Every structure is written in C-alpha cells, then in structure tokens.
Chain A
Amino acid sequence: MKLDIIFAGVGGQGIVSIASMLAFAASEKGFAVKQNEVHGMAQRGGSVACHVRISDKSVWAGIIPKGSADFILSIEPMEGLRYAGYLSPSGIIISGNQPVKNIDYPDENRVISAIKKHEGSVVIDTAALADKLKNTKAANIILLGALIKKIGLFGPEMESLIKKRFASKGESVVDINLKAFNAGMSNI
C-alpha cells in the first residue's frame, strides 16, 4: 500500500494541521510516514503545499515525485491545479470551491472546470457546507472527511483524533469539527 497526497492552499488556511492529522493516524497504525511542511516566508499569504507520504514499505523522499500523487487535496481551487503535474495517471484532485482572491485571480469557472477535467476529480461545495455549520473555517476538516472517505482508511482514528486535538477548545468546537468531518465524508 502506498499513498502520496499533496495538501494545497494559501498560507493560513490550516493545511498543515489536517495533513498532520492524517500523517499521525497512519503512523499510529504502523505505516511508514513522512510529512513535508512549509514554514517561513510563503506562509505570509502565499501558496503553500504540504506532502504526506504513507507506505507499508519504506518512504525515502519527503517530497512526492511528479507523476506519483494519488490525491491533491486543495482548500483553494487554483492552488490544487498548481500541482496537477504531480498526479499519477489515476490520481485525482479533491477541492473546495472557495477561491482566495488576494491576487489578480483567473476566471473562477475556468478554474473549476479545469479541475473537473482530471478524471474522477471532485469539487466540494465547502462554501455551502461551512455556511450550514456556521463555521467559515471548517473547510479544511470538511475536505479531510472527503479525503478519508475516498481513501477508505483511518475513518475511526480520525474521529478520535479530532476529539483529542480540539478537546482543549471545548466541547462545541469538537462537535463542530466532527460535524464538518462527517459532512465531508457524506458529500463525496
């Protein structure tokens, strides 16, 4: 078993935190795992990506080679497209639909349809789902739910991890994040 996943987005969107949850769950299950993160200048509103590599053998490189990614999980649609060249022939993009327009942004519809051109790729209405949950910052956890559904592994581990990670912030925060996770699971 081998899973190469690129998490893409804009600095400050919570990419590192969902990537680390998946990496942690897989590592606890005994898989070899490496997770590369971005720290530093790019976090200042620039594009950021985080690579998670999971394998039942050994993982050598911390970054995913082009042509090898099984999934690109993008909180911001154009950022997902940026790494399309990393997809393996069967790889897909799972993207949210909320653009971050801190630059001269391309036509949104073209971005979305370019994502959908990659066979099997999905754009999730994170805008509407987050709205329903009354939590504008839930997009990352929603997408994590969608990814876990697609992978078909680590579901229960992720729920208990959400409970653990958000426990210090109170029950209602745990609850919202569990709901967001399940919304992602059931909307893909």
Chain B
Amino acid sequence: MLLGDEAVAFGAIHAGISAAYAYPGTPATEIQEAVQKYSALHPDAKIKADWSINEKVAYEEALGCSLIGLRSMVSFKHVGLNVAADPFMSSMITGANGGLAVVPCDDPGMHSSQNEQDSRFYAFFAQIPCLEPIDAQEAYDMTREAFDISERFKIPVMVRSVARLSHTRGKVRFSGEQKQNKLKIPENFTGWNVLPSNARAQYDSLLSKQADFIKWSNSHPANRIHIEKGAATGVIATGLGFNYFMEAASSSGGASYSYLRVATYPVPEQKIRELLKNVSTLIVIEEGNPLIERLIWKYIAETGKKIAVKGKLSGDLPSAGELNTESVRVVLGLAALKSSAAVSSDIVRGRPPQLCKGCPHADTFYALNKALAGKTEKVVFSDIGCYTLGFYPPFKAIDSCVCMGASVGMAKAASENGLKYSVAVLGESTFNHSGITPMLEGIKRKSPFTVIILDNSTTAMTGGQDTICIGEDLEKVVLGLGLEKEHLRVVNPIPKNLDENAAAILQELEYEGPSVVIARRECLQIR
C-alpha cells in the first residue's frame, strides 16, 4: 500500500532516474522523502535526492541532468511551479535529452495552501504532454511512462497530482527496473542555447510535435471511452473527477451515461469526437479549473449539433474547492445519499492548527509585539511557515502573508516609501528560498527596514526537512550581503529573555537603515 506520492517516487526510481530535485511543500513532500528513503537504503543505486533551495533551482537542476542525458524528476507543490515557471517555460524550447518528469501537486480545496491553481494549464501553456493519474497504481505507471515519452518526444513531461491522490494509499504492482542512462554530452548545443535564432527553430520544432502528442493521446489506453446505446447524456471526466463519477454512477438507480475519461494532454481529440457523436447533453467533470470545459466548444461546433454543456463554468458544479461524490451526484441529477444524522453544529467547534506549546516563534512574537506596542505607523510583513499562525490571537503579531519571500521586498519598499516601522518576519527556510535576493537589494539601497529571521533550523511547516543554511552560516550570509555588523542581532527567543529581546528589536526598528534580527532557537519537533 503506497501513497500516491510514494508511487510517483517508485515510478521514477524504477524508470532509472539519476536524480530527483524538489523543495518541500504539501502535498508533494512525500515524493522526495520516498526517494530519499530509497536512496539511503540503496546507496548502490546512486540516486541523488537532496532538497533544493527553491523550486526554480530544483527545476534547473533537473534540466541540467537532462542535458547530459540522465533521467531526472522534479517535484513540488503547485505554487512551486510559479517559482520554477521561468526555466519551465524555457525548457519547452530546449527540450529534454534524458527523460525529465515534472510533478506538481495541486491542492484544490486549499488544505495546506494559499491558492487553488490547476497545473494542467501550465502544461497547456508550455504545450507539453501531461498525464493525470487517478490512483496509486497509475501514479506509478504514468510516472514511469513520463520518462519514456519525454525521451521519445525529447521534451519535459508533466505528471499532475492533487492532494487526494498524493495522500491516498492504494496497492501498487511494480514492473521491472530500468537501468540509469549513461552520461552523454550533446554533440550540438544549438537547441540548448535559447538565443532568439536558435529559439525560433526550437519553437517551430515544438509546434510540429503537437500532432504527435495528440496521436499519442488518442491511443492512450487510460483515455477510456464507453458508449452507452441510447444514452443522450455524455460525461467527460478528468483526474479524480472520474473516480467520483464512477462512484456516483455505480449507485445511479439505473441511469446510464456514455463517458470518456481524459487522462492525457493534449486532449485525445478523436475520442472526444466519438463521444460527442451520440449525445445531446455533455457533463464535464474536472478536478481543478475548467480546462476541457473551455476547449470543448471547438469540437461541439464541428458536430454542427446543439449540445448543452454542464460543468463548472455553467454553475452546475462548484467552481471552488474539491469535487466529491456528492457534488458529482448533483450534476448527474442523482439524489443525495441518505445519512442518519446531521452534524450537531452547536456542539462541534472548529479546531484550526496552532503553534506547538513552547514554540520559539511564540516568544519572538511576544517580543515583537512588545517592541511595537503603542506604535501606529507600522506594518509587519510576514511570510509562509509555521509562524504564519502568528496572525491569530493570542499573538496577532503579523499582518500580511503573500508568497514565499514576499515579506522582504514588501517591507523594503514600504520603508523607502515612507512607512516608519516596516518589518519583515520570515523563517530561515523561506529566507533561503527567496529572501536573500531582496535582502541584498535592501541592504545595497540602504532601505530603513528590519528583517526578523526566525531560525528554528528546520523547514517546520512541511514536516521538518533540513534547511541548507542555518545558524552561524546564516549570519555569515547576511553579513556577506553587506549588512553592517552592528545591525545584525542574534537573540534567543525564550520567555525569560522577553524584555531583552524586545529592546533589541526596538533598537533596530529605530535605526534608519537596513537591520536584521535573527531569533534562533530550535523547533521543538526536531527529531
């Protein structure tokens, strides 16, 4: 029984990857953790699987392996692909030598994320093939396949997961293990150097591959089609939407449908045309943002028929959050399953996540609140990590949180545009990830802002992965960026130091130049 994420990992391992690169983020974290575990148990397999400093770097690392002919995987949560978007979009121009699979894990419903975004749109945007597994077995099989087609088409290939696939266990049957590729330096680098003259030729080649991608998609066995004689309603379901559809249809009280599961992109056009031949109503069920529901009109127009389309755009399925069997029953026109009980809402209370008792962040928040007490012209720009919970009472210590690393640039700009007390608060992993470049800018521009780095020596929010640069090394990095030594303060956030720490923070807040306070104490969950 493997998690979807673990199945992805084994699919890649058995496909002969030489390396896996990733930055932690729910729901993708367990992919890299599984590769790491395997690699530690099988040192002879020689698979590199360290955590990368951020997703852009991870993607570039995987691309570097691909250039020298090796297979590599890069995985991260959906928003990681935003960070990696630059190399990702350029890699459709360079193409791939060794198989390259990119595995973003989406989080519809925002269980542990700041937004919902559907990575299939990125595949569409980059015009590369994408596979969408719906259970652990397929996560294994399709990840393996991704490497083969990546090498066949010489292009990076996406495997899209979502939280409920990444975190659902199922039985997985392994197939044989493939050997790693041998290192091979390309004979010709024109494709790998995106000077406009080269890039134009490469882009033409990508465009000319589209027909091959569609051919591959048309004949892919996962794109299962069923034509029900006499059924006027057709269903196109993608991703986990297909599971919910099959579940609902299995207790439909006799109603039956023609259906097509779309599991590969670009969409299998032939099969879509075949389905549309027989129906007058089309229901489109997609986990994520409506993609096929937007593309479908071209194929409907071709039929010359009037076909009504029901889905998210039409308002027949909820646009936000995850699909489930219940919402799919509604769009199919099936009655809800009976339950014995309603939830006694006056008794059941919400139980949001909280900082652990004794968490070092709490002590830093109390000190910061004390330093800022009575000040009105202040904003605490914060970031993503356990410390984001400092927004809630009893702390109410932070104001904004946008995306990893945003706190530093935002605080720097606010300070140089007149905000008196402009503070950035971020964890050391977030600082490593994307706080260093904006801090370099702020220091060189002598902006009057204060950055508080919460160094708990781990990436706690996502389960405690090691951070590359912590402790004294972190101090050296900050000083190396050019910060004046007297404006780097290192404090120990424990209750007894409250007054002392608040005073140190206040001094730096009053200083009219860049300053950094490192609050250093280990996370309590470090094993």
Contact = CB atoms under 8 A, between A and B. Distances in A.
Interface of A: 10-11, 20, 23-24, 27, 32-47, 60-63, 65-68, 78-79, 81-91, 102-107, 110-111, 114, 118-119
A61 B354 contact: no
Contacts of B112: 39-42
Contact of B167 (A24, A38, A41, A90): A38
A118 B341 CA distance: 7
B351 A47 contact: yes
Task: Determine the main DSSP class of B at the interface with A.
Answer: loop
Contact of A106 (B339, B347, B386, B461): B347
B339 A66 contact: yes
A63 B353 contact: no
B487 interface: no
Nearest to A52: B169
B341 A87 contact: yes
Interface string B327-366: 0010000001111111110011111111110000000000
B483 to A, nearest CB: 32
Contact of A11 (B30, B244, B250, B353): B353
Contacts of A118: 340-341
Contacts of A27: 1, 171
Nearest to A19: B169
Interface in B136-183: 164-165, 167-171
B247 A44 contact: no
Contacts of B350: 47, 103
A41 B26 contact: yes
Given A65-B247, A111-B347, A41 B353 contact: yes
A41 B353 CA distance: 7
Interface residues of B, number: 50
A36 B243 contact: no
Contacts of B340: 87-91, 118-119
Nearest to A78: B348
Given A110-B347, A111-B347, A39 B337 contact: no
Contacts of B461: 41
Contact of A103 (B167, B341, B351): B351
B137 to A, nearest CB: 11
Contact of B169 (A35, A47, A65): A35
A12 to B, nearest CB: 9
Contacts of A63: 164, 324-325
B452 interface: no
B352 A46 contact: yes
B15 interface: no
Contacts of A114: 344, 347
B349 A78 contact: yes
B246 interface: yes
A84 B344 contact: yes
Contacts of A83: 343
A68 B337 contact: yes
Interface of B: 1, 3, 26-27, 29-30, 111-112, 135, 164-165, 167-171, 240, 243-244, 246-247, 250, 324-326, 329, 336-344, 347-356, 386, 389, 461-463
Given A45-B356, A66-B326, A78 B347 contact: yes
Contacts of B165: 62
Task: List the 4 shortest-distance A-B pairs measured between CB atoms, nearest first.
Answer: A67-B337, A40-B26, A40-B112, A62-B168
B230 to A, nearest CB: 24
A37 B344 contact: no
A82 B343 contact: yes
Contacts of B1: 20, 23-24, 27, 33, 35
A139 to B, nearest CB: 17
Nearest to B244: A61
A41 B351 CA distance: 12
B168 A36 contact: yes
A24 B2 CA distance: 10
A90 B389 CA distance: 40
Given A27-B171, A81-B344, A85-B343, A102 B351 contact: yes
A39 B463 contact: yes
Contacts of A35: 1, 168-170
Nearest to A57: B250
Contacts of B135: 34, 62
A58 B218 CA distance: 26
Contacts of B171: 27, 32-33
B386 A44 contact: yes
B339 A43 contact: no
Looking at B244, B340, B347, which has the most chain A CB atoms within 10 Å of its CB? B340
B356 A44 contact: yes
A67 B338 CA distance: 5
Given A46-B352, A65-B326, A119-B340, A37 B3 contact: yes
B325 A61 contact: yes
25 contacts: A24-B1, A27-B171, A34-B168, A34-B170, A35-B168, A37-B3, A37-B169, A38-B111, A38-B167, A39-B27, A39-B29, A40-B26, A42-B111, A45-B356, A60-B246, A61-B240, A62-B164, A63-B325, A65-B325, A78-B348, A82-B348, A86-B339, A90-B340, A102-B351, A103-B351
B258 to A, nearest CB: 18
A79 B244 CA distance: 25
A61 B339 contact: no
